Amino acid sequence: MIELTVNGATHRVDVDPATPLLYVLRNELALNGAKFGCGMGQCGACTVLVDDRPVFSCLYPVSSTAGRRVRTVEGFGTPEKPGPLQQAFIDRQAVQCGYCIAGMIVRAQALLERVAHPTEQQIREHMNPNLCRCGTHMRILDAIRAVAATGELHRAGEKGPAS
Amino acid sequence: MTTDRDEPVSRSRRAFLAGGGLMVSFALFGSLRVSAGQENTLGATILNPKLPGDLKIEPMLDAWIRIDASGVTVCSGKVELGTGVRTALWQVAADQLALPLERFRFVTADTALTPDEGYTAGSHTMADGGTAIFHAAAQVRAMLVDAAARKLAVPPERLVLENGVIKAPDGRQLTYEDAAAGLDLHRMATETSPPSDPSAYRYIGKSVPRVDILAKVTGGAAYVQDMRPDGMLHARVVRPPNHGATLVSADVDAVSRMPGVVRVVHDGDYLAVVARGEWQAVLAMRALQASARWRQTETFPDNATIHDVLKTLPRLDYVTTRQGVDGEVHQAAPVANAAPAAASTGARVERVEATKQYVLHGSIGPSCALAVWRDGILTVWTHSQGVFPLRAGIAGLLGLPKEQVRCVHVEGSGCYGHNGADDVAADAALLAHRMPGAPIRVQWMRDQEAGWEPLGPAMETSLEVATDADGALTAWRHALWSTPHNERITNPGRLLPAWLVSQSIAPSPPSPIPQPEGDADRNAVPLYRVPDVRVDMHFVTQMPFRTSAMRSLGAHINVVTIEAMMDRLAAAHGKDPVAYRLAQLDDPRAKAVIQRAAEAFGWTANPALPPNRGVGFAFARYKNLMGYCAIALEVEVDPDRRAVRVDRVVTAVDCGQIVNPDGLTNQIEGGIVQSSSWTLYEQVRIGAVGVESVDWQSYPILRFPQVPARIDVHMIDQPGMPFLGAAEIAQGPTAAALVSAVAQATGRRLLRLPLVPHLWP
């Protein structure tokens, strides 16, 4: 049995400890946010936060989450009450097929929690690992900039982890 | 589910309506008119060519709209591929039914429930599917009003429709459900519909938020990948290293004993594992793959030689001509080797040649499908673009009657054309059929998608154009070499697993999409005024690599070729490129987008640009039938860092009546970014072992730091005019404008795509 904490809740799962976190999130915990894209840490569709740091969950062994906090896009808000980045993506309709979008939101969250008002270059470089094939980049950047302008997530970060 | 009720009716009426329509395939060529019984370019059969949009294919109103005590249901055979059409079609239905969006169900692409509209492809969804719903809904609305008038004994013109209620002047009212009681909607649509006033639309023309986005940003179930029915098993396939490789041996027994493995399937060259856990399936797949020994039977060209190789392979030649400036486009029946076109003659003759390499659709999520064989029905959940053709293919593959296969569309990752969606659905169907009762989920891995999706074809074009002393176009000769762009499911052998199983089925012979839609020759006939046009499509029928439809087909390179020619001719005649294009066009809508884009960009004839900067301009009307798009952009090249930075992009588009302006903007922005990626960076590496691009390292695409600084989309709305397809219109003009701008910035007019690896090899 492996114990892991995801979005503030503790779960015990009976899996091979080498199983990548992605498969545990999707199958054992039935969370849809993190997606299988490449299985090689090359596209970012599977991005989740482990102790506030973005990781490729397709490569990250579930056993390595011991004693760490895992956060997925489901932890940022709900359909009834979307979080700031989720709301900004909705407001700008920053989605085409949307398959990469949860990973985009998670990676952006990590930046905005750490840096109050990132520059355009900082945003682009931070988002570099995540790929979008539909070409939704303009809107993704716009949504991130909008939340960055408020500094909202940075303040939340300073208050300590909200999970 | 409702198969029992719907299918027999549907079959008999189609048989009745199709009666007398002879299927004569060569009738496609020569005349470009459509007739009953003929298949359209999206694989659906035309039953009544006089009706608007896809009512041609499915003329019965109740196939589109059903009303019973439980409410109103609108059906579409088109699917959401990430372009927002589900919302846009819903908007059209809402306005034409005079019903709020949330007051009716909207069902898409399910072989048991919806009309067969063939594939969701070719930018036909709004133009054909939207038009069908537009008219079906208006006709049903009129029938409801008439029925209510009879029930209320009030003249129909005195009734008012409000929020799904039909009101009489005296206050009495009927719901749509009440009005529809006893009303038979199983009626043939009529050619014309009651008019609607574009100024009164509540939804059409408004940026209604997309219905699918909330789930997608909050982790809701949104994709076929997110389905987890009880008892689901996880499957993975093991593919040969390349086309034609045959299996020598694989250690099936050892893999069968691995933890969680339920079944290992070995049938000819087909290998798959089925396991309880997904990770267990991945480990079993890896072990099976490592144990497999293959014999390579084919040799493959490389990136340097592919265009020469294309010219040596067996081919059919399709010659398309247009004589006279208002002449009709005529495509002759194919011949094995057409006599070469005579050289152009005129005061001045210019020649342009261009090439492109193979490209990947490159969906971020590799293809996935789920299937279950239960109670004599094989149900397949799929992100296919065409659930009806897929059903026919799977039924043929498994030897089942079509009635025993149901294909249901569930969204997947964006596909941009014919990717692995159908093939993985066939994998799931094949495995589920062998394991009755168990839902089988098949997820391809990244390298399998890259290695086995049909590629966007490598192509070469050669264009020769003659002009008179004033620069007017006098003769146009366009030749191109390509493998097919449309290897959709016309027989079960078009599904990849069918090649691999021991009782293999070969794909049916390739056949191009005829003009005016075009295949490799899409957009090769210019919209510009020229009295003598000939296009020679050298259609290579023996593919070194499997190819099929990718967003815009041949239009991408053909528009690059045409627009490079227009730039060259403008320069040769001392004209500004924008002014020169305007002077060669008659279509006022074409001119309008060009003028709008040039004006918004601040286009000037001879801009004073710093070193390493360039501007480019391009225009096309997609297929000469769909949306118009003009693009101006500015780039900066950095030779030291071997980089091209796209600074700003300004575009003007005309897609007829706009249904959802924000959705249209999203599609255009996406098209510009995606086409920039293709044009600047993308090529499939090919070599001795076949496709060598297996991941995002070996197939780099554009990333955030390379995204344009700014894209401005200007829309010219045409209220009351037909919907014109939008999703592919930016691909050609973006590429052509980039080629032009990079040429100015570097002083080298490079027409070998992708640009960046060729600029700095």
- List the 115-154 stretch of B: residues with Cβ below 8 A of A: none
Amino acid at B287: A
Residue with tokens 């397949």: B380
Contacts of A100 (CB under 8 A, 6+ apart): A35, A37, A43, A44, A45, A130, A131, A132, A133, A134, A136, B364
Going through B89-225 in order, the beta strands assigned E by DSSP cover 104-108, 160-162, 165-167, 173-175
- List the 357-416 stretch of B: residues with Cβ below 8 A of A: 362-366, 411-414, 416
Residue B14: the pLDDT is 38
Tens of pLDDT, residue by residue over B383-437, are 999 999 999 999 999 999 999 999 999 999 999 999 999 999 999 999 999 999 9
What would the mean pLDDT of B721-732 be, rounded to a whole number? Answer: 96
DSSP character string of A8-58: TEEEEE-S-TTSBHHHIIIIIS---SS--S-SSSSS-TTEEEETTEEEETT
Share of chain B above pLDDT 90, in %: 91
Q: CA B750 to CA B352: how far, in whole Å?
A: 10
pLDDT at B1 over 90: no
Q: How many domains does chain B have?
A: 3
Contacts of A132 in chain B (CB under 8 A): 364
Q: Decide if B214 touches A, using CB distance below 8 A.
A: yes
Of the candidates A111, A91, A120, the one whose C-alpha atom is nearest the C-alpha of residue A154 is A111
pLDDT level of residue B11 (50, 70, 90 thresholds)? very low
Bridge partners (DSSP) of residue B261 are: B275
> Mind telling me how many Å the CA of A142 is from chain B's nearest CA?
11
Going through B215-345 in order, the beta strands assigned E by DSSP cover 233-238, 246-249, 261-267, 270-275, 293-295, 315-323, 329-331
Residues in chain A where the model's pLDDT stays below 50: 159-163
Residue A156: the pLDDT is 59
Residue B440 lies in a domain: yes
Cβ pairs A/B, distance under 8 A: 181
Query: Domain range spanning residue B353?
Result: 315-357+456-485+520-759
Flag if B217 and A74 touch (Cβ within 8 Å).
Answer: no
The CA–CA distances, whole Å, from B452 to A93, B251, B564, B572 equal: 32, 23, 33, 45
Residue B669 lies in a domain: yes
What would the mean pLDDT of B482-501 be, rounded to a whole number? Answer: 97
Candidate from A40, A96, A138 with C-beta closest to B695: A40
Same domain, B117 and B237: no
> Domain ends where: B200, B233, B249?
B200
Closest residue in B to A59 (Cα–Cα): B279
Residue B385 lies in a domain: yes
Residue B16 lies in a domain: yes
Give a three-class secondary structure readout of B401-426: CHHHEEEEECCCCCCCECCCHHHHHH
Same domain, B468 and B549: yes
Same domain, B44 and B189: yes
Same domain, B543 and B421: no
Same domain, B106 and B236: no
Burial, B641: exposed, middle or buried (Cβ in 10 Å; 0-12, 13-18, 19+)? exposed
Contacts of A89 in chain B (CB under 8 A): 213, 217
Q: Decide if B439 touches A, using CB distance below 8 A.
A: no
Tens of pLDDT, residue by residue over B257-269, are 999 999 999 999 9
Contacts of B259 in chain A (CB under 8 A): 16
Q: CA A145 to CA B444: how far, in whole Å?
A: 35
Tens of pLDDT, residue by residue over B596-609, are 999 999 999 788 99
ipTM over 0.85: yes
Give a three-class secondary structure readout of A83-103: CHHHHHHHHCCCCCCCCCHHH
CATH code for position B73: 3.30.365.10
Flag if A127 and B215 touch (Cβ within 8 Å).
Answer: no
Residue B39: the pLDDT is 84
For B60-96, b where at least 16 C-beta lie within 10 A, e where not — what string? bbbbbbbbeeebbbbbbbbbbbbbbbbbbbbbbbbbb
pLDDT level of residue B180 (50, 70, 90 thresholds)? very high
pLDDT level of residue B152 (50, 70, 90 thresholds)? very high
Bridge partners (DSSP) of residue B329 are: B322
Residue B40: the pLDDT is 87
Q: Decide if B579 touches A, using CB distance below 8 A.
A: no
Tens of pLDDT, residue by residue over B727-744, are 999 999 999 999 999 999
Burial, A85: exposed, middle or buried (Cβ in 10 Å; 0-12, 13-18, 19+)? buried
What would the mean pLDDT of B636-652 be, rounded to a whole number? Answer: 96
Residue B346: the pLDDT is 80
Residue B534 lies in a domain: yes
Flag if A43 and B696 touch (Cβ within 8 Å).
Answer: yes
pLDDT at B579 over 80: yes
Same domain, B426 and B551: no
To the nearest whole number, what is the mean pLDDT of chain B?
94
Same domain, B9 and B68: yes
pLDDT at B10 over 70: no
pLDDT at B753 over 60: yes
Flag if A82 and B214 touch (Cβ within 8 Å).
Answer: yes
Contacts of B703 in chain A (CB under 8 A): 128, 131
Residue B15: the pLDDT is 35
Substitution target in B217, B282, B449 with the highest count of A β-carbons within 10 Å is: B217
Share of chain B above pLDDT 70, in %: 95
pLDDT level of residue B30 (50, 70, 90 thresholds)? very low
Same domain, B476 and B613: yes
pLDDT at B723 over 90: yes
Residue B344: the pLDDT is 72
Domains of chain A and any CATH numbers: 2-75 (3.10.20.30), 77-158 (1.10.150.120)
Residue B57 lies in a domain: yes
The CA–CA distances, whole Å, from B160 to A144, B152, B157, B204 equal: 46, 12, 8, 20
Same domain, B462 and B552: yes
Flag if A125 and B705 touch (Cβ within 8 Å).
Answer: yes
Q: Decide if B212 touches A, using CB distance below 8 A.
A: yes
Please give the helix or strand (H or E) that residue B557 lies within, else none.
Answer: helix B555-572
Tens of pLDDT, residue by residue over B657-681, are 999 999 999 999 999 999 999 999 9
Flag if B414 and A74 touch (Cβ within 8 Å).
Answer: no
Same domain, B279 and B344: no
> Mind telling me how many Å the CA of A47 is from chain B's nearest CA?
13
The CA–CA distances, whole Å, from B472 to B321, B563, B595 equal: 19, 15, 20
Tens of pLDDT, residue by residue over B112-128, are 999 999 999 999 999 99
Of the candidates A132, A146, A9, A134, the one whose C-alpha atom is nearest the C-alpha of residue A65 is A9
Tens of pLDDT, residue by residue over B236-282, are 999 999 999 999 999 999 999 999 999 999 999 999 999 999 999 99
Same domain, B351 and B370: no
Same domain, B335 and B407: no
Q: With beta carbons less than 8 A apart as the criterion, state whether B449 and B540 touch.
A: no
